[in-house]
Amino acid sequence: MAATFDLESLKTRLYSAVLSDVLDQLGYPNQAVKPFVRPVDDNSVLCGFARTGLYMKRYHLPEGHNPYALEMDLIDSLKPGEIPVLACDGPTDRIAPWGELLTAASMVRKAAGCLTDGLVRDVRRIRELGFPLFHGGIGPLDTKGRAEMMAADEPVEVAGARVEPGDFIFGDVDGVVIVPQKIAAEAVRLALEKIEAEDSTRDELLAGASLRSVFERHGVL
């Protein structure tokens, strides 16, 4: 699937609202994450393919145990265009899986961003780096002794939306939409067609046409 998408082009052409509309049309009405998930920078665009990680709360750190092991394996194995999608059962005040160092490691591997319903930190530096990060809150906590990734590359739920490895993820200032892998090509094609119709509708509205007349011509609103 990834080889058929020009992600850099889609970042400039798509937007989350039109993808959400198309998913409604295709019978997938529950693909937008809950609106508490926000970008660290409103200009960020998240566009790529999911790699998933599932977190659990921890209240004890056994001696000699590395709580970052599975997390490091996931980040170290990222490929260009992939997005770590970290499920923390958010909103949460305890689980904070992301910061500057994971950002740096992901950028070197040309990851397309990160999506989590957990907390993030080092936000000022991440903004400076320009890394697309969509999060469930900001706080200074480390996960050590508080949480740990318990599984990777299996289906998860992030902010109310199911995400499977390989799903197409798109996010912008309006929110984040999860496009199931099996319908991603069709959804993107329909979204681009809808954008063309919306562009025509906008031009005609700005020229003074009525909403009803342009809706009858283009069928979008």
Alpha carbon distance 112, 115 (integer Å): 10
Length of the chain, please? 221
In a domain, 193, yes or no: no
Q: Tell me the pLDDT tens digit for each residue of 24-68.
A: 999 999 999 999 999 999 999 999 999 999 999 999 999 999 999
Residue 191 has pLDDT above 90, yes or no: yes
In a domain, 174, yes or no: yes
pTM of the model: 0.90
Q: What is the CA radius of gyration of the chain?
A: 19
In a domain, 176, yes or no: yes
Alpha carbon distance 139, 118 (integer Å): 10
The confidence score (pLDDT) of residue 1 equals: 41
In a domain, 155, yes or no: yes
In a domain, 198, yes or no: no
Residue 2 has pLDDT above 80, yes or no: no
- Average pLDDT of the chain is 93
Alpha carbon distance 110, 84 (integer Å): 12
Q: Tell me the pLDDT tens digit for each residue of 61-117.
A: 999 999 999 999 999 999 999 999 999 999 999 999 999 999 999 999 999 999 999
Q: Tell me the pLDDT tens digit for each residue of 135-168.
A: 999 999 999 999 999 999 999 999 999 999 999 9
The predicted model gives 208-215 an average pLDDT of 80
The confidence score (pLDDT) of residue 3 equals: 43
In a domain, 52, yes or no: yes
At 141, is the secondary structure helix, strand, or coil?
coil
Q: List residues bridging with 135 in a β-sheet.
A: 38
In a domain, 196, yes or no: no
The confidence score (pLDDT) of residue 221 equals: 66
In a domain, 206, yes or no: no
The confidence score (pLDDT) of residue 220 equals: 66
The CATH number covering residue 23 comes to: 3.50.30.40
| Domain coverage including residue 9 | 2-181
Provide the number of structural domains found in the chain. Answer: 1
- Compute how many other C-beta atoms are within 10 angstroms of the C-beta atom of residue 94: 18
